[in-house]
Amino acid sequence: MSGKNPNLFIPYAWPPSYGTSGHVLTTDGAGQLSWGAGAGGSSGVSGYSGYSGLSGSTGSTGASGFSGYSGIYGADTQPYILNVLTGMADPPDTAPQYVYTDGVALTSAAALYFSTTNRDGIGIASWLLALGSGTSPTTGRLRVINRNNSSQFAIFNITSIIDGTANASPSVIVNVSLVSSNGTIGNNTDVLISFVATGNSGYSGFSGSTGSTGASGYSGYSGQTGGVAIDLYHKRFAQIVSSPTGTSRTAYGTSSGSSVGTLSNQSDSTGPWQRIATAASEDSAGDTRSGADWRTNDNVEGIFVVRTGASISSIRLWIGFSQTGAPGGSATPNENHVMVRYSSEDSTAYWRCSSGQSSSTFTSTTTTLAIATSTAYKFRIVMNASSIQFSHWNGSAWDELANHSTNLPTATQTMLGGVYVQTLADASKHIEWSRLTFISGS
């Protein structure tokens, strides 16, 4: 093979066949020729991008994702299971993890009974007892909320705490009053109990200056001529009958129990203490009482100085007047009575005033006077045919506890005056008294 230059001669080795259609003759640079596909040309310049098309229609909504886990409860909140008790007597056998009402719907409860073990099995007795550690009348607020439905809740003021941690089934009783609520939380519902403390009472302010002396009041009407007075003073029982011709004294009354103190300490304010103790068996009782000489239409006044024992759990106490002198096996006597009373069944740490003719016809008032262990109280009951006044001596004056004008005892029914105690457990309970004074104005 030669080109235009006649002197140029380059030898090539030709391929032995005609090749395939479209193939071109290529060399390996060493004189060997062969058929093969031709190399592609370089890419041309890119053209301009076309206009964007119209947006398509919105697709259908996808399925909802799984719900997240419930958050952890707050720092001062405890988990429990709510149970509404019915027909409750003494503080219940509080099962671990449960909070009970006192036999009514949550929003009507006057007390909540807490197990000392919460829903998570953690012992929180100290947390529960601390709910009553403030010095304000309302130590704080409790919020009970359905753990799975936050729209269902009830908010309560805490009025007092009763320590039941020494019971066979440890519990703490929280006396409450409803503030607000929404919805209904049913039985066996998981709830969260949150506590918000109330600040302690502030310091007393400075005493104001003494006001000017007021004008003298009108003289009162002359009182009635004295009638019968009985002063029971540690088995020194006397009946004093005043008449134009003189005074007579006779032995009077009955007593049970053992002495505490000495008879030489005959102070009018307290005096020696006489203990009335029960046997160590459930429902046993003890009492001290006068004869059946007192009727509401005789304008009777009774003074009762008593002292509580070291335990006020599983106990009933009656102080005042009753038809048979032994109120018996119920928190409210089923007979004519006028009494200051306390029963651990009441789910409140306050004395109550009760008067009436039976357990179905009576008036009961919960006072603001708290009951405490080993504490002396001086009560006064003044009764006539139209009203009954209950008072407590605060150290300098009589504080009225209640005034009843309905459901009074039968006016002509004679009653005994005295002090009574009953145990509601297989343990001995007691109360002490130092002075019982009864005065009749007719």
Structure tokens at 343: 């029963």
The answer to which of 51-65, 156-170, 327-341 has the lowest mean pLDDT is 51-65
Assess if CATH 3.30.1330.20 describes domain 228-440. no
Q: Kindly state the average pLDDT of the residues 415-432.
A: 88
Domains of the chain by residue range: 77-197, 228-440
Q: Are 156 and 100 in contact, with CB atoms under 8 Å apart?
A: no
Q: How do residues 203-258 score in pLDDT, each as one tens digit?
A: 666 667 777 777 665 554 444 344 444 444 333 333 333 222 323 223 233 333 33
Torsions phi, psi of 132, nearest 5?
Answer: -105, 20
Q: CA angle 312-356-397, nearest 5°?
A: 60
Share of the chain above pLDDT 90, in %: 18
pTM (2 d.p.):
0.45
- Complete edge-to-edge strand list for the sheet that includes strand 416-423: 285-289, 416-423, 315-322, 337-343, 350-356, 362-370
Pairing of strands 111-115, 149-164: unpaired
Q: How do residues 300-326 score in pLDDT, each as one tens digit?
A: 888 888 899 899 999 999 999 988 866
C-alpha separations of 235 from 127, 253, 279, 376 in Å? 47, 8, 21, 20
